[in-house]
Amino acid sequence: MDARTALQVPADDPDALYKDRENLASAKKATDIWAARLAANPKDFDSAYRLAQARYWLGTNGLPGPDRKAALEGGIAAARSAIAINASRPEGHFWLAANMGALAESFGLRQGIKYRGQIKDALLMTLSISPAFLDGSADRALGRWYFKVPGLFGGSNKESEAHLRKSLTFNPNSIISHIFLAETLEDLGRKDEARKEAQTAIDAPLDPNWTPEDRRFKEQARRLLQRLAR
């Protein structure tokens, strides 16, 4: 980030810093501010869930392995704090599931077994509170859960497809939902439909609230489409 850009990001505004999260230093600074605010006021719900969200970003973007794991474990702790403060809001439950899911996917079978049931419970709780939260993100995450979990433990491509299609009713332009649906359809042997979903992900507009994530997702969609073309 150049000096001109740095001047546009207030050093004490975590929301502005987090918008600049592709700059890892800005993401870390935002995380530190929310952590300090929560430490100073353990009833600060907004700081708790934003801390969980920011630690999820750090744990899934750019940090080395041990630091990624620590960030995600910290995200779980922050999400649990948010739930303890206000369990009737969806944010804590969703970011609890997100951090657990990233740990389960990135750090081996033991993590997957440890968190499998808790992830599903947290996502079902999110759905029960607000199905439309973050444009159907709970349905999208449940769709991924059913895709990733072996059938012996409750996984189901049929359920995966149903939840992913439900998530797209809230946001038809969700790049990551189209990618996840493409992978589920590929696993179901419906390769032509999978290619269509991957192309839709590539063609979809960037969401201004999620541009850093969407840029990465579009690269993922391009790699997926190349694989599906073979």
What's the pLDDT tens digit per position in 39-66? 999 999 999 999 999 999 999 987 877 8
Least confident interval from 8-22, 153-167, 182-196, 205-219: 8-22
Note the pLDDT of residue 230. Answer: 85
Least confident interval from 9-13, 93-97, 164-168: 9-13
Q: Give residue 149's Cα distance to chain centre.
A: 17
Please tell me the pTM assigned to this model: 0.92
Position 110 confidence tier, pLDDT thresholds 50, 70, 90: low
Instruction: Please state, in angstroms and rounded to a whole number, the distance separating the CA atoms of residues 163 and 137.
Output: 10
Structure tokens at 177: 């939902």
Give the per-residue SS3 of 67-91: HHHHHHHHHHHHHHHHHHHCCCCHH
Higher pLDDT among residues 109 and 188, named by residue: 188
Domains in the chain: ranges and CATH? 10-130 (1.25.40.10), 158-230 (1.25.40.10)
pLDDT digits (tens, 9 = 90+) for 17-34: 999 999 999 999 999 999
Average pLDDT, the chain: 93
Note the pLDDT of residue 82. Answer: 98
Residue 4: which residues within 8 A CB-CB, separation 6 or more?
none
Percentage, residues of the chain above pLDDT 90: 84
Percentage, residues of the chain above pLDDT 70: 93
In this model, does residue 118 exceed pLDDT 70?
A: yes
pLDDT digits (tens, 9 = 90+) for 76-108: 999 999 999 999 999 999 999 999 999 988 876
Position 111 confidence tier, pLDDT thresholds 50, 70, 90: low
Structure tokens at 218: 């579009």
Note the pLDDT of residue 202. Answer: 98
